[in-house]
Amino acid sequence: MSTTSVYHEGERAVQHSAGEVGIADRNGVVIADTILGGARPFIGKQSMVVLASVDADGAPWSTVLFGPPGFAHADSAAQVSVDLPAALRDPEEPFWRNVAANPVIGSLFIELGSRRRYRINGALERLDDGGFDLAVREAYPNCPKYIQRRQLRRIDGDAAPALLGEGRALDDATRAIVRGADTVFVASNHRERGADASHRGGTAGFVQVVDATLLRIPDYPGNSLFNTFGNLTVDPRVGVCIPDFDGQRLLQLGGCARILHGQDDPQGLTGGTGRFWEIAIERWLLRRIPQRLDWEYLDASPFNPAVEA
Amino acid sequence: MPCLARYLIDAIIRHGPVVKEFHLAPEGGAPPPWQPGAHVELVFTSRAGASHRNAYSVVGEEGGMLRIAVQREEGGGGGSRVLHDEFEPGMTLEASAPLDGFKLHPGSTRTVLIAGGIGITPMLPMARALETAGASYQLHYLARDAERLVLAGDWQALGRDRVRTYATESEGRPDLGRMIGPWEPGCELHACGPSVLLEAIRAAATAQGWPQQHVHFESFGARAHDQDRPLQVVLRQTGMTLDVAPGKSILDAMIEADVFVSYECKRGECGNCYAGVASGDPLHRDVCLNAQQRAIGMTPCVSWARGSLLELDL
């Protein structure tokens, strides 16, 4: 059996740099081209989906969409549908205009309350006033590590969406959101393989604000697939979104990433990998989420490495 | 999925009562590149038609052939018995490309290698690499009795003061704390052996201040215990109850039932199948979780539970 169809050249390059090619081959067996039977009811009870989309210039954007449980459903193993009427969307959300122009979509169904997540990458098949369909190209479960548990207690749709601000360098308000972040989503893209949505979690402070335009993030031990880093090796443009769970806001960042292998890490900030990555921020958007969400924080992942004091 | 290549068994060398060393000649070409600690998965079928897929560490290379050592296990899936009883020089089998699942982290100050039983196999190429690099290291090799201290030619070829052997049946288990010593920056510990030994090593290392990321394990051997009883596993999120018989892992039972679950190593080493425990009394048999992680969850790939009921947050 050949491995060439599972990984692209960027993923292979990072797997080599990390010395984890063999592990990636072993772990790649979980990647399927349809949705696992047991994941379909899981998708059907979710209230949020993390999405990666790509704008007209080819830059990836990360976002989160919310809806009542059942708003997303996998009626077949080959397709996911998301019901989100146009009237309930934020017109300022880049996702909608991105997918209208470029069909690639990465998605991550993540249930923060039980630390389960399922990744589905593919292409837009339908977009209309009722919602959209995503045709599955690849689908696989991800591990529960580094996910902070939160329960969505209530969701209602009566809040008015709003663009609260946009800019190039972080200001005080956006800097505070980054510093307090324990849950971050990353969008990356490969011109042939498409977009990828992934989760990064840690103890608040794990995303270091080096200055107003530079973030530094440790890369914890993972599944060795390096979907995100593989994409970023080929195309360094990256989209990041950070939910402000208490403030009903979503911070979306765009910029360029640089991967740093073999770094000195005397404090153990990387959990032993010696890998960091940096994001040179080029723009940000701060939006109010178009629903009212009532989150209850439960606990931090017992896998989170230490953060800098 | 790693590519499979066909190998010819060129020679089989006996080491004591239960270990046979196989020399595997790749059909057409040189052996694939491999790193110290790597293993290959042998894929073969018994005469009775049962197919097996067993992982063995690469011990070394000789004359363009890969060397592996197989211990005959009375329990388990039976693959080692098939290799011992049914394979002879001249026969062929298939093997995956070497997988670098257990990597050498050379310490700048000191590297400790501990092998339990057949766990010596990945330690030998690691020790040779450290020896070649002129690194400061110590190899401790524990076996039940002197007859089971196998592959003597390999470890006797290392620096004389670098290797210590222990026959635990007559001498008792050595003081692991003294063996490991206190941690300081630049120290790395690697151990391969049965999970019970690795558990004890983890405890001794933690007591001496070793941070978890400097302790590297590879485990083997059956995790099921004779006392294990059938288990009813309730998956709270999925709304499903599975009856799992001893000898089968909870993870495999979930995979067969098409439950949505993440996993990778299936050996209790990576923690990626970690599941929250809603109720029940887990018997932890992993070698990767710390006390805090065990307090609220478990790895269903190797761990079991006391009593008859276990409820997972899956």
User: How does DSSP assign A98-150, residue by residue?
Assistant: HHHH--EEEEEEEETTTTEEEEEEEEEEEEETTEEEEEEEEEEEE--TTPPEE
Q: Is A145 within 8 Å of B272 when comparing Cβ atoms? A: yes
In whole angstroms, what is the distance from residue A134 CA to residue A167 CA?
Answer: 31
Optimal mutation site among A112, A145, A267, A298, interface B, most CBs of chain B within 10 A: A145
Of A151, A89, A90, A116, residue with least CA distance to A294: A151
Nearest-Cα distance to chain B for A14, in Å, is: 15
Which residue of A26, A111, A144 is in closest CB contact with B274? A144
Nearest-Cα distance to chain B for A24, in Å, is: 9
Quick one: pLDDT at residue A184? 98
In whole angstroms, what is the distance from residue B195 CA to residue B67 CA?
Answer: 24
Quick one: pLDDT at residue B291? 87
Mean pLDDT (chain A, rounded): 93
Mean pLDDT of A134-145: 95
Residue A309 DSSP SS3: coil
Q: Is A22 within 8 Å of B99 when comparing Cβ atoms? A: yes
Number of domains composing chain A = 1
Q: Which residue has the higher pLDDT, A177 or A309?
A: A177
Nearest-Cα distance to chain B for A62, in Å, is: 23
Q: Is B2 within 8 Å of A41 when comparing Cβ atoms? A: no
Q: Is B99 within 8 Å of A23 when comparing Cβ atoms? A: yes
Optimal mutation site among B183, B264, B284, interface A, most CBs of chain A within 10 A: B264
| Residue of chain B with shortest Cα separation from A145 | B272
A307 occurs within a structural domain = no
User: Contact at 8 Å (CB) between B122 and B191?
Assistant: no
Quick one: pLDDT at residue A223? 81
Mean pLDDT of A229-250: 95
The pLDDT tens digits of the residues spanning A119-135 come to: 999 999 999 999 999 99
In whole angstroms, what is the distance from residue B77 CA to residue B220 CA?
Answer: 13
**Amino acid in the structure at residue B257:** A
Nearest-Cα distance to chain A for B213, in Å, is: 5
> How is residue A6 annotated by DSSP?
T
Q: How many CA atoms lie within 13 A of A283 on its CB side?
A: 10
Q: Is B38 within 8 Å of A22 when comparing Cβ atoms? A: yes
> DSSP secondary structure string, chain B?
-PPEEEEEEEEEEEETTTEEEEEEEESSSPPPP--TT-EEEEEEE-TTS-EEEEEEE--EEETTEEEEEEEPPSSTTSHHHHHHHH--TT-EEEEEPPB--S-----SSEEEEEEEGGGHHHHHHHHHHHHHHT--EEEEEEESSGGG---HHHHHTS-GGGEEEEEHHHH-S--HHHHH----TTEEEEEEEEHHHHHHHHHHHHHTT--GGGEEEEEES----TT---EEEEETTTTEEEEE-TTS-HHHHHHHTT-----S-SSSSS-TT-EEEEEEEEE---SS--HHHHHHEE-TTT-EEEEEEEEE--
User: Contact at 8 Å (CB) between A134 and A123?
Assistant: yes
N-term to C-term CA, chain B: 27
A95 occurs within a structural domain = yes
Number of C-beta neighbours around residue B75 at 10 A: 11
Which residues does chain A have within 8 Å of residue B296's beta carbon, measured at their own beta carbons?
Answer: 302
Q: What is the CATH number of the domain that holds A20?
A: 2.30.110.10
In whole angstroms, what is the distance from residue B136 CA to residue B307 CA?
Answer: 47
Q: Is B272 within 8 Å of A116 when comparing Cβ atoms? A: no
Which residues constitute the domain of residue A294?
9-299
Number of C-beta neighbours around residue B289 at 10 A: 21
Nearest-Cα distance to chain A for B36, in Å, is: 12
Residue A296 DSSP SS3: strand
The pLDDT tens digits of the residues spanning B258-303 come to: 998 999 888 888 899 999 999 999 999 888 898 899 999 999 999 9
Nearest-Cα distance to chain A for B11, in Å, is: 27
Token pair of A40 as six digits: 């379909």
Which residue of A25, A37, A302 is in closest CB contact with B293? A302
Q: Is B264 within 8 Å of A118 when comparing Cβ atoms? A: no
- Indicate if the pLDDT at residue A2 is higher than 50: no
Q: Is B101 within 8 Å of A145 when comparing Cβ atoms? A: no
A186 occurs within a structural domain = yes
User: What are the residue ranges spanned by the domains of chain B?
Assistant: 4-96, 110-220, 231-312
In whole angstroms, what is the distance from residue B145 CA to residue B161 CA?
Answer: 21
C-alpha pair distances (Å), B270 with each of A224, B101, B215, B240, B265: 11, 10, 13, 25, 6
Which residues does chain B have within 8 Å of residue A4's beta carbon, measured at their own beta carbons?
Answer: none
Mean pLDDT of A32-59: 95
The pLDDT tens digits of the residues spanning A260-278 come to: 999 988 888 999 889 999 9
**Amino acid in the structure at residue B130:** L
Q: How many CA atoms lie within 13 A of B31 on its CB side?
A: 21
Q: Which residues contact A47 (CB under 8 A, 6 or more apart)?
A: A66, A67, A68, A69, A71, A152, A155
A292 occurs within a structural domain = yes
Quick one: pLDDT at residue B220? 74
- How many Cβ contacts (< 8 angstroms) between chains A and B? 104
Q: Is A145 within 8 Å of B271 when comparing Cβ atoms? A: yes
Which residue of A2, A28, A266 is in closest CB contact with B3? A2
The pLDDT tens digits of the residues spanning A4-27 come to: 457 899 888 888 888 788 778 777
Nearest-Cα distance to chain B for A37, in Å, is: 6
Residues of A with CB under 8 A from a CB of B: 1-3, 19-23, 25-30, 36-39, 41-42, 111, 114-118, 141-145, 223, 266, 268, 271-272, 302-303
Which residues does chain B have within 8 Å of residue A26's beta carbon, measured at their own beta carbons?
Answer: 2, 99, 101, 264-265
| Residue of chain B with shortest Cα separation from A4 | B1
Q: Does domain B231-312 have CATH number 3.30.2020.30?
A: no
Of A201, A214, A209, A211, residue with least CA distance to A271: A201
Q: Which residues contact A120 (CB under 8 A, 6 or more apart)?
A: A35, A80, A107, A108, A109, A134, A136, A138, A139
Quick one: pLDDT at residue A30? 82
Nearest-Cα distance to chain B for A274, in Å, is: 11
pTM above 0.90, yes or no: no
| Residue of chain A with shortest Cα separation from B104 | A19
Which residue of B1, B213, B274 is in closest CB contact with A1? B1
For B4-96, CATH number?
A: 2.40.30.10
Q: How many CA atoms lie within 13 A of A71 on its CB side?
A: 20
Which residue of B99, B272, B274 is in closest CB contact with A223? B272
Query: Which region, left, alpha or beta, applies to residue A278 given φ > 0 means left and ψ of -120 to 50 means alpha?
Result: beta
Q: Is B101 within 8 Å of A22 when comparing Cβ atoms? A: yes
pLDDT in tens, chain B (314 residues): 457 899 999 999 999 999 999 999 999 888 999 999 999 999 999 999 999 989 999 999 999 999 999 999 887 778 999 999 999 999 999 999 898 888 999 999 999 999 999 999 999 999 999 999 999 999 999 999 999 999 999 999 998 899 999 999 999 889 999 999 999 999 999 999 988 899 899 889 989 999 888 999 988 766 777 788 999 999 999 999 999 999 889 999 999 999 989 998 888 888 999 999 999 999 998 888 988 999 999 999 999 999 999 999 99
Quick one: pLDDT at residue B221? 65
Q: Is A38 within 8 Å of B259 when comparing Cβ atoms? A: yes
Architecture of domain B110-220: 3-Layer(aba) Sandwich (3.40)
Which residues does chain A have within 8 Å of residue B275's beta carbon, measured at their own beta carbons?
Answer: 144
Q: Is B261 within 8 Å of A38 when comparing Cβ atoms? A: yes
In whole angstroms, what is the distance from residue B258 CA to residue B254 CA?
Answer: 6
Which residues does chain A have within 8 Å of residue B217's beta carbon, measured at their own beta carbons?
Answer: none
Optimal mutation site among B3, B256, B260, interface A, most CBs of chain A within 10 A: B260
Token pair of B173 as six digits: 């288990």
Nearest-Cα distance to chain B for A289, in Å, is: 27
Number of C-beta neighbours around residue B200 at 10 A: 16
Nearest-Cα distance to chain A for B66, in Å, is: 17
Residue for token pair 């990041």: A240
Phi and psi for A113 in degrees, rounded to 5?
-70, -25
Which residues does chain B have within 8 Å of residue A109's beta carbon, measured at their own beta carbons?
Answer: none
A37 occurs within a structural domain = yes
